Structure 1
Amino acid sequence: MAAEPRLQAEQLHVQRAGKQVLAGISFAVAGGEVYGLLGGNGAGKSTTLATFLGFLPVASGRVRVDGRDVHADVVAARRAVAYLPEAAALYPHLDARENLRYFVQLAGVDSSATAIDAALDQVSLPAEARSRRLQGYSKGMRQKVAIALALLRGTGILLLDEPTSGLDPLAIDEFHALVRGLADAGKAILMVTHDVYGACQVADRIGLLRGGQLVAEFAAPAGQRIDTETVHRAFSARAAA
């Protein structure tokens, strides 16, 4: 029996400033999988995330988080997800532990030193870096702190917005390994990206978004990755159309 989706878009239409940005897209993400929403600039990727967070009204269709209509209970929907933007909004003058302690106290969850260090262990942030201010961190290290915050909040759903943009190749590989591990532990992960190779490395399924429409989907064969060349050809053909 297939797992119930944690995230679901059903014939979703969204307009911004009177212009249609999403035109009837439908997809679902279950626990234990990474869904890569792939597309170029202006395809509607970030609009999709904003709609799941309840920041944009729906012209027609539905978005659901854990079976709830987002706009019927936006507070519950936001509580169920952790959103990681391209540039994580953390305080550069605080160290990793101080950032996590501050944000989890705001969320009303366990802010003990033991819990914080356990989350930082899980994302493999080096022990010697944890007491350094974030202003000296690389982007990859800041992303790890942001993921640790999501783990501390105990959410089962992650929304990732171009998470590897600006990372070096080693940091990208480390981030993908972290995301894959979280999915294998049962998290539902929706990652929007324009990086074909990266999406194929980590995603179980990929939806190709163009002009607000989901024009193709690709699934990884059992025990394998999605074929990069196949997706790249489809991406390039759509981009040139």
Structure 2
Amino acid sequence: MQTNSVICADALTVRVENRTLLDNLNFNVGKGEVFALLGGNGAGKSTTLKTFLGLMKASRGSATVLGHNATTHPNDVQKSVAYLPESVTLYGHLSGLENIRYFLSVAGVEKSDEDIFAALRKVALQEDSWNKALSNYSKGMRQKTAIALALLRNAPVLFLDEPTSGLDPAAIDEFNALVSELAANGATIFMVTHDVYGACQVAHRIVLLSNGKLTGSFERIGDMPIDTEAVHAAFAGRKA
């Protein structure tokens, strides 16, 4: 994992009317790092994600991605990243292959069938499903299709919103293995989640968010996963 900053929150504050949704957030995410922002409902996770995607504006401070200020240059950020929402927005009446070809054409990205097939194999989407309508896909299969699309767009940064929500344990393990592989190949992964176990298994660093404020952080040491019990205790508001 390299230390050069790809994603940066510098005194990031977001206010809407009289409410402070994010309060003076400071962190950096390096190339090849899996960074997890962990918090419960209403903690400010979605606001953080939307601000880095340029969908909400910083009131003070800044959110930058690959050197682009998300508030002042949102289009530059959005062209440079891939975003996987909790509910992947793909067309149910199209097959996995048709969805990928369509969204690549919209993005102006030309890829051969061999490139597309290689990406689908990389995310371990079963080959017999490639030509089936997405309405027949499980959530895990939809996520794999969306990640294959992100790979084909050569996005160096992936933003993931509750990526393991609704997945069974086997699908979660597959997803975490894929995220780890992408990071090992240089992608920067920013995920927001309330899944303590999943975050500890895959993240290099976990930062806790509560009521719009950062309240703690944990970092992987070597190849050992982050201590689940310590994170859970802090997440639940108890002393570790």
TM range (shorter): over 0.9
Query: Structure 1 residues 2 and 119 mapped into 2: Cα distance closer, same or farther (>3 Å)?
Result: closer
Range 10-19 or range 50-59, more displaced: 10-19
Range 45-54 or range 11-20, more displaced: 11-20
The normalised TM-score by structure 2 is 0.96
Aligned residue number for residue 92 of structure 2: 92
**Runs of 5+ in structure 2 lacking a partner?**
none
Aligned residue number for residue 42 of structure 1: 42
2:148 maps to 1:151 = no
Range 71-80 or range 94-103, more displaced: 71-80
Matched ranges for 1:58-73 at <5 A: 58-73=58-73
Matched ranges for 1:38-187 at <5 A: 38-187=38-187
**SS of residue matched to 1:179:** helix
Aligned residue number for residue 213 of structure 2: 213
Aligned residue number for residue 237 of structure 2: 237
**SS of residue matched to 2:114:** helix
Instruction: Report the Cα offset of residue 220 of structure 1.
Output: 0.5
Instruction: Report the Cα offset of residue 88 of structure 1.
Output: 0.4
Cα deviations across residues 58-103 of structure 1 (Å, max 9, x unaligned)? 1101111112222232111111110100010000100010000000
Instruction: Report the Cα offset of residue 196 of structure 1.
Output: 0.5
The normalised TM-score by structure 1 is 0.96
Q: Number of paired residues?
A: 239
**In 2, Cα distance between equivalents of 1:84 and 1:18:** 30
The list of structure 1 runs, each at least 4 consecutive aligned residues, that deviate by more than 6 angstroms after superposition, is none
**In 2, Cα distance between equivalents of 1:139 and 1:181:** 20
2:6 maps to 1:11 = no
Asked whether the equivalents of residues 39 and 235 of structure 1 are also in contact (C-alpha less than 8 Å), the reply is yes
Cα deviations across residues 8-30 of structure 1 (Å, max 9, x unaligned)? 11111002343110000111111
Please, what is the CA RMSD of the aligned residues?
1.4
Asked whether the equivalents of residues 12 and 60 of structure 2 are also in contact (C-alpha less than 8 Å), the reply is yes
Instruction: Report the Cα offset of residue 2 of structure 1.
Output: 5.4
Asked whether the equivalents of residues 2 and 33 of structure 2 are also in contact (C-alpha less than 8 Å), the reply is no
**In 1, Cα distance between equivalents of 2:2 and 2:232:** 29
**In 1, Cα distance between equivalents of 2:149 and 2:34:** 19
**SS of residue matched to 2:237:** helix
Letter in 2 for 1:156: P
**In 1, Cα distance between equivalents of 2:118 and 2:69:** 33
**Runs of 5+ in structure 1 lacking a partner?**
none
Range 35-44 or range 9-18, more displaced: 9-18
**In 1, Cα distance between equivalents of 2:2 and 2:164:** 30
**In 2, Cα distance between equivalents of 1:73 and 1:86:** 25
Cα deviations across residues 97-135 of structure 1 (Å, max 9, x unaligned)? 000000000001123211211110110111111011110
**SS of residue matched to 1:215:** strand
Asked whether the equivalents of residues 43 and 211 of structure 1 are also in contact (C-alpha less than 8 Å), the reply is yes
Query: Structure 1 residues 237 and 86 mapped into 2: Cα distance closer, same or farther (>3 Å)?
Result: same
Asked whether the equivalents of residues 14 and 20 of structure 1 are also in contact (C-alpha less than 8 Å), the reply is yes
**In 1, Cα distance between equivalents of 2:100 and 2:114:** 12
**In 2, Cα distance between equivalents of 1:158 and 1:76:** 15
**SS of residue matched to 1:237:** coil
